[in-house]
Amino acid sequence: MRAVVCGAVGAAVLAGCGESTEGAAGPTTTVRDPDTIEVFNPCRGALSDEVLTEVGLDPSTFHVTVDPPSGVSAWRICSWRPLDDRYGSGKRDIGVFSTSHTLEDARKKAGVTVIRDTTINARAGLVSKENSTPDICYVSFAAEQGMFEVTAAWLSTEGPRGGDLCRMAEQYATALEPHLPK
């Protein structure tokens, strides 16, 4: 699971400056707190069985990693296994992470190697790996709430592994992106 340290980093992310007006003390700054934003929930039916099947995921293999039953959560994470070998082969898991954290947070996270910048359909994104988990690749892309991440992960060292995890994650991200809020 992607563990983003939000303490000082999240509270310090600035959303922009306001306008100066005559008689005002100066520009105002709004601090964006990722722990107060209600994020899209991909785990509770927002991605229908039809959508999951269309993008190549098996709805019957649904697994929740993080999905509090109520209230605000900085992360909502669930995953499915592929239906077929359209993007690769072997025992693997495809995760959808919905978060109030931003691409800049992901880029600055300690222990992460950004492999490259990318674009998922029209959204800015990046491809990365956590140094401690080389068998998982993250494709993160911008959203008004913060970002979405789509992961591809090997589930086992046994059996064949066909394809590049980062390429798989990008392909699933591209297929899922139209079904996720801007």
Please determine, for residue 80, whether its predicted confidence score (pLDDT) is greater than 70.
yes
Residue 26, pLDDT > 80, answer: no
Q: E-assigned strands of the chain?
A: 14-17, 29-31, 57-66, 75-82, 92-99, 112-120, 123-130, 136-143, 146-154
- The full set of domain ranges for the chain reads 34-179
Say if residues 57 and 94 touch (Cβ distance below 8 Å).
yes
Mean pLDDT, residues 55-68: 95
| pLDDT level of residue 8 (50, 70, 90 thresholds) | very low
Lowest mean pLDDT among 16-25, 26-35, 92-101, 138-147: 16-25
User: Residue range 97-123: average pLDDT?
Assistant: 96
Average pLDDT over residues 133-150: 96
Q: How far apart, in whole angstroms, are the C-alpha atoms of residue 117 and residue 124?
A: 8
* pLDDT score, position 34: 64
**pTM tops 0.95, yes or no:** no
